[in-house]
Amino acid sequence: MGVEKKILVIPGDGIGQEVTSWGKRVLETIAENFKHKFTFDEGIMGHVAIEATGNPLPDETLEKARKSDAILFGAIGHAKYDNDPTLKVRPEQGLLKIRKELGLYANLRPIKLFDDLLHASSIKPEILQGADILFFRELTGDVYFGEKKRSEDRSSASDLMIYHKYEVERIARRAYEAARTRRKKLCSVDKANVLEASRLWREVVQEIAKEYPDVETEHMFIDNAAMQLIKDPKRFDVVVTGNLFGDILTDEASQIAGSMGMLASASVGDTIGFYEPIHGSAHDIAGKGLANPLASILSAALLLDISFGLKDEAQRVIRAVDATLRQGYRTMDIATKQTPNQFVLGTDAMGAKVLDNLN
Ligand code: IPM
Ligand code: MG
């Protein structure tokens, strides 16, 4: 007997609209093939929600989110806001608020290169081959949520970098648990040579490390980690870090997987899971049908695996993506000169190939 689940789809802004429809189609196909019953609802968030209601996260969307078993999200942001820092209501506030409200403190970003994309990265193939990293980015603390201030004359500004012990403990435990199921190596990234918040981070990770003597722990400063990631990505297994460092490091790490268009992420806490590509709204190509739908499709695979425990179904999706790449199908962002018999497709044609390979 299959499972019955409620999924909220929030396409968001820009290419989020185009790519998320493919993540959803993949979930529908899986439900059909495996006799599960997934019911879908849709919500608005980000620039589209500001336009419609004045609020980047309308209460209605938040209520729907709380009632769902998992959420598939697209992207957020609009160039209009990027170029006008004085705007008070901003699309990103919607995403930050939903993370906080749903207690999504752990952001998992798996970085793994599909064999057929070895040449899609700007990094040398011999450096990349075999790299397999799982990032745990803390998602509800740090400068993202610390107090923000602007002086009265508006000539100075500050964002408080703050971590509480319990916040570090819970993300560290999750990362250690994952390391146990992998190569048993954990690298904690901070800036403890300069920042007090990082010294607390390191202290707490050192404490938690004692509970996991079977996992090898390494501590690395963020600047060094940023360098090592490109120099020798294979040295990393599980990486755990704070919100800001994790944001930056995972964009960098996306190059190990060939393109931002390939990377999925899962944000989890104690209840509902939230799944999204790590790429942004890419307004330069939005609406043109050029975006890569694979990150959304792989986010759907993470959703099946983590929120629903449907491992076979998740593997089926990953294999369909792998098969599509093997057949030479590429979106613009992952096309390369080195690929023989390559077919460069738009969003919908690429999504359709994955569906064909699912059946
Ligand atoms: C991400 C994004 C977000 C973040 C933005 C859109 C607020 O870059 O999910 O990585 O900084 O967390
Ligand atoms: Mg980011």
Among residues 129, 130, 139, the alpha carbon closest in space to that of 109 is found at 139
Q: Quick check: CB of 282 below 6 Å from ligand 1?
A: no
For residue 212, the tally of other CB atoms under 10 A from its CB is 18
Q: Whose CA is nearest to atom 9 of ligand 1?
A: 278
Distance 19 CA to ligand 1 centre (A): 17
DSSP track, 234-289: GG-SEEEE-HHHHHHHHHHHGGGGS-GGG-EEEEESSS-EEEEESS---TTTTTTT
| pLDDT score, position 25 | 98
User: Of all protein residues, whose CA lies closest to atom 5 belonging to ligand 1?
Assistant: 92
CA of 247 to the centre of ligand 1 (A): 7
Token pair for residue 96? 């930050």
Strands 106-112 and 216-221, by their bridges, are unpaired
User: Over pLDDT 70: what percentage of the chain?
Assistant: 100
pLDDT of the residue at 231: 97
Atom of ligand 1 nearest to the CA of 99: 12
User: Rounded CA gap, 17 and 24, in Å?
Assistant: 11
* Active-site amino acid positions: 144, 191, 223, 247, 251
- Residue 137: CB atoms within 10 A of its CB come to 28
User: What DSSP assignment string belongs to 15-35?
Assistant: THHHHHHHHHHHHHHHHHHHT
Give buried/exposed letters for 288-324 (b at 16+ CB in 10 A, else e).
Answer: eebbbbbbbbbbbbbbbbbbbebeebbebbbebbebb
Residue 38, H or E segment: strand 37-42
Q: Is the CB of 252 under 6 A from ligand 1?
A: no
Average pLDDT over residues 239-264: 95
- Do residues 203 and 124 touch, judged by C-beta distance below 8 A? no
- How does DSSP classify residue 158? E
Does any ligand 1 atom lie closer than 6 A to the CB of residue 249? no
Distance CA 179, CA 317 (A): 24
**pLDDT tens figures, 44-72:** 999 999 999 999 999 999 999 999 999 99
Per-residue pLDDT for 359 more than 90? no
User: Is 90 exceeded by the pLDDT of residue 340?
Assistant: no
pTM: 0.96
CA atoms within 13 A on the CB side of 21: 14
Q: What does the pLDDT read at residue 338?
A: 83
Q: Is 76 in the pocket of ligand 1 (CB under 6 A)?
A: yes
Question: Residue 77: CB within 6 Å of ligand 1?
Answer: yes
Q: Quick one: pLDDT band at residue 357, thresholds 50, 70, 90? A: very high
| Pocket probe mutation, ligand 1, options 95, 111, 159, 275, max atoms within 8 Å of Cβ | 95
- What per-residue confidence (pLDDT) applies to 296? 98
Cα 340 to ligand 2 centroid, rounded to whole Å: 33
Nearest in space to 261 (alpha carbons), one of 292, 282, 284: 292
- Mean pLDDT along residues 203-214: 98
User: What integer is the mean pLDDT of 28-57?
Assistant: 98
Q: Which ligand is nearest to the CA of 251?
A: 2
Q: Residue 176 in contact with residue 205, Cβ under 8 Å? A: no
Q: How far is the CA of 149 from the centre of ligand 2 (A)?
A: 22
For the Cβ of 247 lying below 6 angstroms from any atom of ligand 1, the answer is: yes
Q: Which residues surround ligand 2, an ion (CB under 5 A)?
A: 247
- Work out the pLDDT band at 155, boundaries 50, 70, 90: very high
Domains of the chain, earliest start first: 1-110+261-359 (3.40.718.10), 132-255 (3.40.718.10)
